[in-house]
């Protein structure tokens, strides 16, 4: 009914809106019609006097007329083929009939208490129909208005579409009458007769056309269901005694799906009674034959072959399903066929009809109908049509919604064969190019989603969720990946949609139970397959399942869930990867400790399985489990949402690794032993004598924890933070000593690599402990021990570099596959510890004495740059310093030391053009580079010679020669592949180490504590390395061979890192110290050499910015020093740029200098640019010289007299150069002349303001060339500019003449004033003359 806010449609307009396709519009129209007829007056309406009776009599008479009209329109509308007319009119008719039988007009107006339908009948009936009951009247009206013969049409006049409209109109009308509930309102006999009539009408519709059988049966089912509830089962039994039903069901040889649907539905109506013991006495004889049996589904009986009948229902197109299936669900589950999708169906425990249990029937339905009938017994998909596969999906989906036992659901409904054929083959990703996706892929995805949505979050659904997940995993362990869905994740509530319920305690408990049981299942499957020696690839999939499950929980679960399941999975992976269980027994510790008891339960179950099979876990599986363990630990640390500071991350690493260490100790206490403990340490000086590597790492961790506890008492926060960060690095390093053991076919070299890794890790751990001890001893040692003190920052930097270059840091050179998963955590720990160590440099409140000196930077640069960049002889004495002679004002310890030999080597003047990365390798490679064709020809020639010798000479076979040539070629390719692998690994190591150097220059705050010589020290090695890499990349790109492009991507990554570092960090350094002039001069010359070594615009731009930085670095030494350095650099650069054809110097080098130091650029560049404007080797370079001259040749307000004097000295030479340029045909072209004219304009402006007589006379020589240019040029702008400059020159010459006439008059117009002032003076004189 329409509410107060909704608009009410007028009565006559409602009929049009009832046929709208919009269901909301139909609802409003039906509500408006019902409101107009029955609800326009209140329920307590009364007539008080005669006046009211007369007043309302006409109103109610009108309502009766409107009701009669509405009934006729509604019945006629059922036969309309327009839009959604049947739905709208049938729905409104059902409400109309219900209210017309329940309500009536006031008794004061119409005595007798009759209903509205009585009045409608009296108004519409003829005199011969006065004895008709309301129920009979409604049926007659329905039949009359839905029959074409009553409207004057004969059968020959009807078209097919009109006939179909009338047939469906009658069907919808009968359903509307049944749903209105009026069939039980009359007397029993009246109701029975009308129901019997309606059923007869529906049976006639069934026999009318074949396509009407299913709709008619659907209406019969609903009619019998409503009659059984309104009139009782006795009425249904009485109806079935009629002969028409006997004849309908007696034709046993012609059973159809529609007949089966009605028959089973009628049986289900009686079976749905609560007490079914007396079923045989009440069930009509016609319904006592069970149709849905195991035998009929398996082979088919003589009465009804259910298998064939139900299989043929696949012709019904999805999403609609044949009506017989709703009858089957009603029969087996005891729910009506109007069941809602979100309502759980429960399978009956037994059926009083027949001997078969419902579970057996369902099992036969799945095995015989779905698997064999619809999907076919064979594995091929040749006979599986889309329709059959679609029906099978629908049935499986509906069965999954039934509350079946989990085991039954797993073993029968979702059998691996069904999952494989229905979902995997439909949803699997197509790998062949051009292969299209399966047509039913959207339907299969929708079915899986519907199965998941049918499960709620109750505890009784945990087993059902797990049963479905187990079925999918048994079909394929990587089900979600293969089908590209999130079905298993959704079943386990691991998707983000379900995590909104995480806040409630009940939901948290639900997730915990679900995930724990799932993890137990995966663990059992994993070790069972290991015991049964299944395929290793299949076992690896289960390892991935455990890994992916824990990652999902880490991302979406609460903190408690993350920690609990991470530690459980960690225990499983550690046990499987690193331990054997030959002699395992419960220790006394497990009796007291709850944690130990839980660990023992898992260890005991795994040990039991191992002993049963007497076969260990395969080595490859142990390696994968080891790698997954390290990856999981790294991911768990990285995804912790609580970490906001580095300190919190360090604490988390220490806590989790300490737990893992205690876990290993607990497992060892049970008698389990590590598979590969390594060799016992024999070094007595290390303090780790007679210990296995892992035990030694535990001792190192324990010693460092004691140091941290002691340092906490000193309340030095920074020192404690650094020591904790070092412990956060030692902890994950100690786990690298866990090893999954050796394979049976491992050679001696691989075994030696394992021992090398162990020794390498122990060496790193001892070095880190020494660093921590050195930091702790700072401030606690005696003065006599200072000489023995080692720089902790230098030692720590070397250790960090070693870690990054090792297999535990991510290097792939060694065969340590089991460690690759933990490289991420190790690298993050190194970064955190290195950042904490650098933070101690700028912390004045700490007692630490950490200095960033040349030795530390040398270690970092050597890890990034090639060795060739440091191999040059030094040009400095060891006593030379980068600082100025007066270094007493600097307190930094590094500035008091002299430059090391490494620093001197950075400024060496050697050109690396044409340098190779590794000469030895290239020579070796050249030794084996033999042309197979040449070799084969050579061998064939030898064959001809041997053939001409004596007969008894050994015959030479050409086939062997070809094989030898091929063997040499394969060896050459293998060597190149090995070299390429080593080069890739080396480049990756350099990129990783680069992060250590970037951390030294992180922000402006810390850059203040870094000496400027340290910043400049990084320039040359990095620039030379970039040059080597860029040459190699350019050579590979220009090569025709595809093999020469190896490692190009890795080289470009390192090039980009170096470029970004030099531009954004070093290039933006603010120099505040005095620098050594000779060192800066040599460095700048080396930068020029590197600039010339490669032809690249980006390389030139980078070198240019570095040149500017070096020049500005001597600015604190005074302006004269800066000008001297810049002139020594750029004078030669300009000459080379303008004269040498093979020079890679570009004009942007000078533009950058002009932009950064405009005043100093005038002293350094102007004279050489003027020469270049005349002597340059091309007209383009000459015009570029004029362009830069125009930017330099002007005077600012802040320029001193020295600068003005310098410009005056160069003015004459510029005049001569311009005069020559204006007469040069190559420079007077449109694209060149503008630069020349711009420089000319600047010269003339300078001459008019600051020029003397000599300069004005020199500019006067430019008048004639300018006039000639103006007369020959086709550009209006050029002509205008030439005339303007010609006029300015003439005004300057007039100033010379006037100064000669009146030399004593210093204030005369034009003397020492600008041209603009002289113009104003002339205008004033002209005005005075006119007056």
Q: What tens digit of pLDDT does each residue of 1119-1177 get?
A: 888 888 888 899 999 999 999 888 889 999 999 999 988 888 888 888 999 999 999 99
Asked if the model's pLDDT at residue 3 lies above 60, the reply is: no
Residue 187: strand, helix, or coil: coil
Q: What is the DSSP string of 334-393?
A: ---TT--TTSPEE--S--SSSS--HHHHHHHIIIIIIIIIIS-SSS--TT--HHHHHHHH
* Cβ proximity of 1032 and 1051 under 8 Å: yes
pLDDT of residue 786: 45
pLDDT of residue 891: 37
pLDDT of residue 877: 34
Asked if the model's pLDDT at residue 830 lies above 80, the reply is: yes
Query: Phi first, then psi: what are they for 908, rounded to 5°?
Result: -80, 145
User: What is the rounded average pLDDT of the residues 527-556?
Assistant: 88
Asked if the model's pLDDT at residue 54 lies above 80, the reply is: no
Tokens of 1283: 């005339």
Asked if the model's pLDDT at residue 488 lies above 90, the reply is: yes
More confident residue, 39 or 783: 39
For residues 978, 981, 982, 986, the Cα torsion angle rounded to the nearest 10 degrees is 170
Query: How do residues 1084-1122 score in pLDDT, each as one tens digit?
Result: 999 999 999 988 899 999 999 999 999 888 887 788 888
Tokens of 431: 């790998």
Q: Are strands 345-346 and 579-580 parallel, antiparallel or unpaired?
A: unpaired
Percent of the chain exceeding pLDDT 70 equals: 77
pLDDT of residue 1327: 44
* Cβ proximity of 649 and 721 under 8 Å: no
pLDDT of residue 543: 92
pLDDT of residue 648: 86
Query: How do residues 1209-1240 score in pLDDT, each as one tens digit?
Result: 888 888 989 888 888 888 888 888 888 899 88
Query: How do residues 593-606 score in pLDDT, each as one tens digit?
Result: 677 777 887 777 77
User: What is the rounded average pLDDT of the residues 770-783?
Assistant: 72
CA atoms of 482 and 692, how far apart (whole Å): 44
pLDDT of residue 167: 92
CA atoms of 85 and 96, how far apart (whole Å): 16
Angle at 254 between CA 251 and CA 257, to 5 degrees: 115
- Residue labelled with tokens 């249904």: 236
CA atoms of 11 and 35, how far apart (whole Å): 9
pLDDT of residue 70: 93
pLDDT-wise least confident of 261-275, 320-334, 821-835: 261-275
Percent of the chain exceeding pLDDT 90 equals: 27
CA atoms of 1116 and 1133, how far apart (whole Å): 24
pLDDT of residue 882: 35
Residue 846: strand, helix, or coil: coil
Of the ranges 253-257, 316-320, 1013-1017, the best mean pLDDT one:
1013-1017
Sign of the alpha-carbon dihedral angle for 658, 659, 660, 662: positive
pLDDT-wise least confident of 52-61, 539-548, 1151-1160: 52-61
Asked if the model's pLDDT at residue 619 lies above 50, the reply is: yes
User: What is the rounded average pLDDT of the residues 222-228?
Assistant: 90
CA atoms of 30 and 28, how far apart (whole Å): 6
Cβ-based neighbours of 1299, under 8 Å, separated by 6 or more: 1253, 1308, 1310, 1311
pLDDT-wise least confident of 222-226, 549-553, 1005-1009: 1005-1009
More confident residue, 88 or 50: 88
pLDDT of residue 170: 93
Q: Residue 229: which pLDDT band, with cuts at 50, 70 and 90?
A: confident
CA atoms of 357 and 292, how far apart (whole Å): 11
pLDDT-wise least confident of 416-420, 433-437, 541-545, 685-689: 685-689
CA atoms of 618 and 626, how far apart (whole Å): 12
Query: How do residues 1034-1067 score in pLDDT, each as one tens digit?
Result: 888 876 555 555 788 899 999 999 999 999 888 8
Asked if the model's pLDDT at residue 42 lies above 60, the reply is: no
Q: Residue 966: which pLDDT band, with cuts at 50, 70 and 90?
A: confident
pLDDT-wise least confident of 268-272, 421-425, 516-520: 268-272
Q: What is the mean pLDDT of the chain?
A: 79
pLDDT of residue 1290: 82
Alpha helices in 103-128 (DSSP H): 116-124
pLDDT of residue 1056: 94
> Could you report how far apart the first and last alpha carbons of the chain are, in Å?
102
Closest CA to 391 of 366, 420, 355: 366
User: What is the rounded average pLDDT of the residues 75-103?
Assistant: 91
- Residue labelled with tokens 């690493």: 653
Asked if the model's pLDDT at residue 155 lies above 60, the reply is: no
Query: How do residues 1242-1260 score in pLDDT, each as one tens digit?
Result: 888 888 887 777 887 888 8
Residue 428: strand, helix, or coil: coil
Q: Which residues of 271-293 are buried (b: 16+ CB within 10 A; e: fewer)?
A: bbeeebeebeeebbebbebbbbb
Number of Cβ within 10 Å of residue 900's Cβ equals 18
pLDDT of residue 908: 40
Alpha helices in 1140-1275 (DSSP H): 1148-1156, 1158-1175, 1179-1192, 1201-1222, 1230-1250, 1253-1260, 1263-1272
Q: Residue 163: which pLDDT band, with cuts at 50, 70 and 90?
A: confident
Asked if the model's pLDDT at residue 278 lies above 80, the reply is: no
User: CA distances (Å), 368 to each of 297, 395, 405, 413, in order?
Assistant: 7, 13, 20, 12
Sign of the alpha-carbon dihedral angle for 1166, 1170, 1176, 1179: positive
- Residue labelled with tokens 């000489």: 787
Asked if the model's pLDDT at residue 1329 lies above 80, the reply is: no
User: What is the rounded average pLDDT of the residues 942-949?
Assistant: 46
Query: Phi first, then psi: what are they for 580, rounded to 5°?
Result: -120, 165
CA atoms of 1149 and 1105, how far apart (whole Å): 8
Cβ-based neighbours of 639, under 8 Å, separated by 6 or more: 554, 555
CA atoms of 915 and 1035, how far apart (whole Å): 12
Query: Phi first, then psi: what are they for 1167, rounded to 5°?
Result: -65, -45
- Residue labelled with tokens 């299913």: 214
pLDDT of residue 1039: 67
Query: How do residues 840-872 score in pLDDT, each as one tens digit?
Result: 887 766 677 788 888 999 999 999 998 888 865
Closest CA to 601 of 523, 698, 506, 496: 523
Q: Residue 69: which pLDDT band, with cuts at 50, 70 and 90?
A: very high
Provide the angle, in degrees to the nearest 10, between the axes of the packed helices 958-1000 and 919-928.
Answer: 170
> What global pTM score does this model have?
0.77
Report helix, strand and coil shares of the chain as percent, to nearest 5: 70, 0, 30
Q: What is the DSSP string of 1059-1093?
A: HHHIIIIITT----S-B-HHHHHHHHHHHHHHHHH
Q: Which residues of 955-984 are buried (b: 16+ CB within 10 A; e: fewer)?
A: eeeeeebeeebeebbeebeebbeebeeebb
User: What is the rounded average pLDDT of the residues 244-252?
Assistant: 73
CA atoms of 1138 and 1077, how far apart (whole Å): 27
The count of residues in the chain is 1331
Closest CA to 325 of 451, 472, 221, 470: 221
Q: Which pairs with CB-CB distance under 8 Å and at least 24 residues apart come from 1251-1257?
A: 1251/1208, 1251/1211, 1251/1292, 1252/1208, 1253/1296, 1253/1299, 1254/1212, 1255/1208, 1255/1211, 1255/1212, 1255/1215, 1256/1289, 1256/1292, 1256/1293, 1256/1295, 1256/1296, 1257/1293, 1257/1296
- Residue labelled with tokens 């340098």: 915
pLDDT-wise least confident of 20-24, 76-80, 825-829, 1192-1196: 1192-1196
CA atoms of 707 and 1156, how far apart (whole Å): 52
């Amino acid at each position: 009914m329409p509410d107060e806010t909704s608009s009410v449609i007028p009565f006559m307009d409602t009929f049009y809106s009832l046929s709208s396709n919009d269901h909301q519009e139909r609802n409003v129209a039906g509500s408006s019609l019902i409101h107009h007829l029955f609800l326009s007056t209140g329920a307590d309406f009364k007539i008080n006097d005669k006046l009211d009776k007369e007043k309302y009599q006409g109103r109610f008479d009108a309502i009766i007329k409107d009701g009669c009209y509405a009934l006729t329109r509604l019945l006629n509308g059922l036969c309309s083929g327009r839009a959604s007319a049947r739905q709208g009119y049938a729905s409104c008719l059902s409400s109309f009939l219900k209210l017309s039988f329940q309500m009536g007009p006031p008794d004061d107006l119409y005595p007798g208490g009759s209903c509205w339908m009585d009045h409608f009948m009296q108004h519409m009936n003829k005199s011969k129909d006065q004895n008709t009951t309301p129920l009979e009247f409604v049926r007659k009206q329905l039949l009359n208005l839905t029959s074409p013969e009553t409207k004057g049409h004969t059968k020959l006049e009807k078209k097919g579409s009109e006939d179909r409209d009338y047939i469906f109109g009658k069907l919808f009308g009968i359903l509307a009458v049944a749903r209105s509930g009026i069939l039980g309102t009359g007397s029993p006999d009246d109701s029975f007769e009308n129901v019997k009539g309606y059923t007869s009408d529906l049976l006639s519709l069934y026999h009318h056309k074949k396509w009407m059988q299913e709709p008619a049966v659907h209406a019969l089912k609903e009619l019998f269901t409503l009659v059984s509830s309104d009139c009782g089962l006795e009425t249904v039994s009485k109806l079935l005694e009629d002969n028409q039903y006997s004849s309908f069901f007696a034709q046993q040889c012609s059973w159809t799906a529609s007949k089966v649907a009605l028959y089973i539905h009628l049986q289900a109506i009686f079976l749905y009674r609560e007490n079914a013991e007396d079923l045989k006495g009440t069930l009509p004889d016609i319904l006592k034959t069970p149709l849905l049996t195991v035998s009929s589904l398996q082979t088919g009986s003589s009465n009804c072959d259910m298998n064939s009948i139900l299989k043929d229902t696949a012709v019904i197109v999805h999403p609609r399903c044949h009506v017989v299936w709703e009858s089957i669900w009603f029969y087996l589950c005891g729910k009506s066929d109007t069941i809602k999708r979100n309502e759980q169906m429960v399978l009956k425990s037994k059926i009083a009809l027949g001997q078969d249990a419902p579970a057996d029937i369902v099992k036969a339905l799945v095995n015989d109908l779905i698997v064999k009938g619809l999907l076919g017994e064979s594995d091929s998909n040749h006979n599986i049509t889309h329709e059959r596969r679609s029906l099978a999906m629908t049935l499986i989906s509906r069965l999954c919604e039934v509350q079946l036992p989990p085991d039954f659901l797993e073993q029968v409904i979702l059998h691996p064969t069904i999952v494989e054929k229905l979902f995997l083959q439909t949803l699997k990703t197509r790998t062949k190019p051009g292969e299209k996706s399966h047509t039913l892929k959207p339907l299969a995805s929708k079915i899986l989603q519907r199965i998941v949505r049918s499960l709620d979050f109750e505890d009784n659904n945990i087993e059902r969720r797990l049963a479905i997940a187990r079925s999918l995993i048994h079909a394929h362990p990587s089900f979600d990946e293969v089908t590209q869905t999130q079905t298993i994740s959704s079943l386990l509530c691991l998707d983000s949609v379900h995590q909104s319920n995480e806040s409630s305690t009940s939901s948290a408990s639900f997730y915990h139970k679900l995930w724990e049981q799932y993890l137990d299942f995966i663990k059992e499957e994993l070790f069972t397959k290991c015991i049964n020696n299944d395929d290793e690839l299949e076992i690896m999939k289960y390892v991935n399942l455990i890994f992916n499950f824990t990652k999902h929980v880490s991302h979406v679960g609460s903190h408690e869930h993350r920690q609990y399941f991470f530690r459980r999975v960690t225990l499983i992976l550690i046990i499987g990867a690193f331990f054997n269980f030959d002699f395992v027994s419960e220790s006394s510790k497990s009796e007291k400790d709850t944690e130990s008891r839980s660990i023992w339960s898992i260890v005991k179950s795994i040990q039991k399985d191992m002993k049963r099979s007497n076969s260990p876990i395969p080595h490859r599986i142990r390696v994968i489990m080891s790698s997954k363990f390290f990856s999981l630990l790294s991911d768990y640390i990285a995804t912790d949402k609580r970490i906001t500071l580095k300190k919190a991350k360090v604490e988390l690493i220490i806590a989790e690794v300490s737990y893992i260490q205690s876990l290993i100790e607990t497992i060892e206490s049970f008698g389990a032993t590590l598979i590969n403990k390594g060799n016992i340490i024999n070094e007595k000086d290390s303090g780790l004598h007679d210990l296995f590597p892992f035990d030694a790492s535990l001792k190192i961790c324990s010693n460092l924890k004691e140091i941290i506890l002691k340092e906490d008492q000193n309340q030095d926060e920074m020192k404690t933070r650094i020591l904790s960060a070092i412990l956060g690095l030692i902890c994950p390093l100690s786990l690298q000593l866990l090893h999954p053991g050796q394979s049976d076919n491992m050679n001696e070299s691989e075994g030696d690599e394992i021992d090398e890794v162990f020794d390498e890790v122990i060496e790193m751990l001892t070095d880190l402990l020494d660093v921590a001890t050195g930091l702790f001893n700072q401030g606690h040692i005696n003065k006599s021990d200072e000489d023995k003190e080692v720089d902790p920052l230098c030692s720590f930097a070397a250790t960090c570099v070693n870690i990054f270059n090792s297999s535990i840091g991510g290097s792939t050179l060694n065969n340590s596959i089991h460690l690759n998963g933990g490289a991420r955590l190790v690298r993050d720990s190194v970064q955190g510890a290195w950042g904490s160590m650098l933070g101690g440099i700028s912390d004045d409140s700490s007692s630490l004495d950490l200095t960033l000196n040349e030795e530390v930077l040398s270690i970092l640069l050597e890890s990034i740059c090639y060795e060739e960049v440091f191999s040059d002889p030094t040009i400095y004495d060891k006593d030379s310093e980068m600082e100025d002679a007066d270094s007493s004002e600097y307190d930094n310890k590094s500035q008091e030391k002299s430059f090391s030999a490494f620093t001197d080597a950075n400024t060496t003047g050697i050109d690396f053009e044409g340098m190779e990365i590794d000469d030895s390798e290239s020579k070796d490679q050249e030794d084996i580079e033999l042309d197979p064709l040449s070799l084969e020809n050579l061998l064939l020639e030898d064959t001809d010679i041997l053939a001409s010798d004596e007969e008894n000479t050994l015959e030479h076979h050409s086939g062997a020669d070809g094989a030898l040539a091929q063997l040499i070629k394969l060896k050459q390719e293998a060597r190149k592949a090995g070299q390429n692998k080593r080069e890739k690994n080396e480049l990756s190591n350099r990129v990783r180490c680069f992060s250590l150097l970037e951390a030294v220059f992180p922000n402006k705050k810390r850059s203040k504590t870094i000496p400027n010589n340290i910043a400049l020290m990084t320039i040359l090695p990095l620039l030379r390395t970039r040059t080597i890499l860029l040459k190699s990349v350019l050579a590979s790109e220009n090569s025709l061979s595809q093999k020469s492009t190896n490692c190009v991507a890795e080289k470009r990554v390192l090039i980009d890192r170096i470029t970004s570092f030099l531009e954004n960090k070093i290039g933006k350094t603010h120099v505040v110290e005095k620098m050594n002039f000779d060192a800066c001069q040599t460095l700048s010359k080396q930068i020029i050499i590197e600039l010339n070594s490669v032809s690249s615009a980006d390389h030139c731009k980078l070198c240019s910015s570095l040149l500017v930085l070096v020049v500005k670095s001597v600015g604190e030494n005074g302006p004269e020093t800066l000008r001297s350095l810049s002139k020594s650099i750029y004078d030669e650069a300009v000459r080379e740029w303008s004269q040498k054809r093979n020079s890679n110097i570009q004009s942007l080098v000078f533009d950058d200098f002009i932009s950064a130091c405009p005043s100093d650029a005038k002293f350094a560049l102007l004279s050489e640019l003027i020469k270049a404007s005349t002597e340059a080797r091309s007209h383009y370079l000459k015009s570029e010289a004029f362009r830069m001259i125009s930017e330099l040749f002007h005077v600012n307000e802040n320029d001193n007299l020295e600068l003005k004097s310098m410009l005056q000295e160069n003015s004459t030479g510029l005049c001569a150069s311009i005069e020559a340029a204006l007469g040069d045909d190559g420079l007077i072209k449109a694209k060149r002349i503008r630069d020349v004219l711009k420089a000319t304009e600047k010269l003339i402006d300078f001459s008019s303001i600051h020029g003397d007589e000599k300069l004005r006379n020199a500019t006067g020589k430019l008048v004639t060339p300018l006039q000639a240019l103006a007369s020959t040029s086709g550009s209006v702008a050029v002509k205008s500019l030439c005339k303007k400059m010609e006029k300015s020159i003439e005004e300057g010459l007039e100033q010379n003449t006037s100064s000669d006439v009146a030399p004593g008059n210093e204030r005369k117009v034009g003397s020492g004033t600008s041209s603009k002032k002289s113009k104003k003076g002339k205008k004033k004189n002209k005005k005075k003359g006119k007056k």
